[in-house]
Chains A and B, each alone.
Chain A
């Protein structure tokens, strides 16, 4: 009997092949769409994470409390050791130190007299050490407007617009005027080797971007950093994990009472990002919900149509003596099996595409050369854990429920009706 039913499914293309294809396509679209939306939302976080917050940020406890003031005197020391510890404790992440500081730059004329002066929001990141991914993550090569990237500690980049205002061109030497982490007055010369267009909010405006080694010299903070940014190796922010990680990390150092102990803050808890993340969670649900509802309705109808078409056959089977429950059960099992088949295939293909988007991405930069926005020009996806089972709803539940609804007729109506509908 089971073999008989299987034969029926396999031979009836619109029940087997077409249904599997339809469900496969539906589930495929759902999975890809889900991964795509996750990728887009992650991309919205990505720039800020790279330039401002990291996925987690480690500072001293005291610095964290007054982070908005950029309190240099509360900077981390012993950074190498802390970094080593962090890398050992969190193998799925990488960490990079930096110094965020303010100051003035002085642009001298040929005689060495001040020609222009202005404030800078300086950022010293790890541009030069061999394993660092900062140049790649900041996309500096593409953002370079003029000149080249720094190759030594005394070289720096200046924001493009600001450089033009101060009439600084690559090759000019500027003097940074600021204070060391101990509060002492300091000056330090940097050669501006290039200008960059960062264009992310206020960050780009008065930017002086240099390697951390130069800043350490300038500010007298050997082995120091104001913050250490941590990123997931795949660059996708996992909010729950980051929050839990930070909580663990801080709990382990809670008892010391040391103001200068390292303290971890997840992306969520910086710059009001929590509200943004919560908003994004809701938006994801809405985006995906609408799409899923559409696909669910389509596949639900597929289940109904496939069954309605078969009323005649069902009537005959009942007339020959098959019980209602058996006929109904076989329809439901059949559509479940077909649905699971489509779900598996659709999910597999969909995940493959999302995986490609996640690992490689599709670069549409060439199409948008003149479009200078602080979003990346790589279309990305992200495999989320729910991608593995989300397709079950439109792919299996919907057609099975559709089949059940249509199959209800077997119980509800008098059986002779089933023939009438066949003849009509």
Chain B
């Protein structure tokens, strides 16, 4: 295993019990993602993209197979250890922004740093920087309900990057956004990837996102059908 491996997955199978039967969401996935990659899982609805991201993030557990994240085998980890791994190294971005409604923009972004017990000063600085990056320095006191979709997703991005994680998992981050906002967001993420060599793994069926990917992994019906280096076509 190379030292700069971010994610290593072998023969990953995931079954969901559904009533009496079983849904095979992932049917033996093998995947390796290096540090600093900008890759996307592309596939139709129900192909297992979200399931795969959740397992990588330790939110779901594999039925079979092994998953290593930053060299750590998730199989032997307790819930607490998985939470710590997420807390320190993984940022999530969701399709439905998932901001905490009662907190301000600043507080939403600050939350991961509170979990990390960062000092007041460190938090202030890091949150300011993260909001600056997503262009929302002027909205620190706003509540999520008052934000547009694009702004909300930018807050979610700031929240994911504020702790400078090694890996960001983004599940259809543009699905609820218009074209202009989608491009804005993707440009921000590309920039982050280039500046901090953060690894990105997307799930998407949005052409606009695909245009930015440097690696495209096709997932169909729980199987990887192709995995190729792609040249970003977006400006």
A residues with a Cβ closer than 8 A to B are 1, 4, 7-8, 11-12, 312-313, 315-325, 414-416, 419, 422-423
Query: Is B90's CB within 8 Å of the partner chain A?
Result: yes
Contact (A8, B102) CB under 8 Å given A320-B111, A415-B60: yes
Is B112 part of the binding interface, using a Cβ–Cβ cutoff of 8 Å?
yes
- Whether B103 pairs with A7 at a CB distance below 8 angstroms is yes
Q: Is B83 an interface residue (CB 8 A)?
A: yes
User: Which residue, of A7, A320, A325, A423, has the highest number of chain B Cβ atoms within 10 A?
Assistant: A320
- Chain B interface extent, by class: 20 to 34
B199 at the binding interface (Cβ < 8 Å): no
Contact (Cβ within 8 A) B102 A11: yes
Bound state CA distance, A423 and B87, in angstroms?
24
Q: Nearest A residue to B111 by beta-carbon distance?
A: A320
B81 nearest in chain A by CB position: A323
Closest Cβ–Cβ distance, residue B171 to chain A (whole Å): 9
| B100 contact from A8, A318, A323, A419, Cβ within 8 A | A8
Task: Please tell me if the beta carbons of B114 and A4 are within 8 angstroms of each other in the complex.
Answer: yes
B80 partner, pick from A4, A323, A419, beta carbons under 8 A: A323
From 56 to 95 in chain B, residues with beta carbon under 8 angstroms from any chain A beta carbon are 57, 59-61, 79-80, 83-88, 90, 92, 94
In the complex, which residue of chain B has the Cβ closest to the Cβ of A5?
Answer: B114
| B159 contact from A11, A320, A325, A422, Cβ within 8 A | A320
In the assembled complex, the CB of A137 is this many whole angstroms from the nearest CB of chain B, namely 58
In the bound complex, CA of A12 to CA of B144 (Å) = 13
Q: Give the complex CA separation of A324 and B51 in angstroms.
A: 20
Do A321 and B88 have beta carbons less than 8 Å apart?
Answer: yes
> Which of B54, B79, B110 interacts with A324 by CB under 8 Å?
B79
How many Å from the CB of B122 to the closest CB on chain A?
14
Q: Is the CB of B107 within 8 A of A4?
A: yes
A415 touching B111 by the CB < 8 A rule?
no
| Least Cβ–Cβ distance between A316 and chain B, in angstroms | 5
From residue A96, how far is it (CB to closest CB) to chain B in Å?
A: 64
Say whether A1 contacts B83, CB under 8 Å: no
How far is B106's CA from A4's CA once the two chains are assembled, in angstroms? 12
Note all chain B residues with C-beta closer than 8 A to A419. Answer: 94, 98
In the bound complex, what is the Cα–Cα distance between A416 and B58 (angstroms)? Answer: 10
Residue B3 CB within 8 A of the other chain: no
In the bound complex, do residue B50 and residue A416 qualify as a contact, i.e. CB atoms below 8 Å apart? Answer: yes
| B contacts with A: majority SS | helix
In the complex, whether B22 has a CB less than 8 A from a CB of chain A is: no
Q: Does B223 sit at the interface, judged by CB under 8 A? A: no
A12 to B145: give the CA distance in the assembly, Å: 13
Query: B51 contacts which chain A residues (CB < 8 A)?
Result: 416
Which residues from B are CB-within-8-Å of A313? 100-101
Report chain A residues within 8 Å CB of B98.
Answer: 312, 315-316, 319, 419, 422
Whether the pair B83, A321 counts as a contact (CB closer than 8 A) is: yes
Are B103 and A416 neighbours in the complex by a CB distance under 8 Å? Answer: no
B1 contacts the other chain (CB 8 A):
no
Least Cβ–Cβ distance between A326 and chain B, in angstroms: 8
Q: Give Cα A322 to B100, complex, Å.
A: 14
Asked whether A321 and B87 contact (CB < 8 A) given A8-B103, A414-B61, the answer is: yes
Q: How far is the CA of A320 from the CA of B50 in the complex (A)?
A: 16
> Which residues of chain A are near B99, meaning CB under 8 Å?
316
CA of A414 to CA of B159, assembled, Å: 23
B115 to nearest A CB, angstroms? 5
Q: Of the candidates A11, A415, A422, A423, which one forms a contact with B59 in the assembled complex, judged by CB atoms under 8 Å apart? A: A415
Task: Say if the beta carbon of B96 comes within 8 Å of chain A.
Answer: yes
Query: Taking the nearest CB of chain B, how far is it from the CB of A335, in angstroms?
Result: 16
Q: Chain A's nearest CB lies how many Å from the CB of B126?
A: 14
Q: Across the interface, which residues of B come within 8 angstroms of A12, CB to CB?
A: 101-102
Alpha-carbon separation in the docked complex, A324 to B77 (Å): 14
- Closest-by-CB residue of A relative to B110 is A4
Other-chain residue from B57, B88, B114 in contact with A1 (beta carbon distance below 8 A): B114
The minimal Cβ–Cβ distance linking A223 to chain B, given in whole angstroms, is 77
A423 to B114: give the CA distance in the assembly, Å. Answer: 27
Report how far A41 CA is from B178 CA in the complex, Å: 70
A313 to B107, CA, bound (A): 14
B112: chain A residues at CB < 8 Å are 320-321
Q: In the bound complex, do residue A318 and residue B83 qualify as a contact, i.e. CB atoms below 8 Å apart? A: yes
The 6 nearest A-B residue pairs measured at CB: A321-B87, A321-B86, A323-B83, A11-B102, A415-B59, A416-B54
Judge whether A320 and B86 touch: CB under 8 Å: yes
B91 to chain A, nearest CB (A): 8
CA–CA, A422 to B95, complex, Å?
12
Convert B174-190 into 0s and 1s, putting 1 for each residue whose CB lies closer than 8 angstroms to a CB of A.
Answer: 00000000000000000
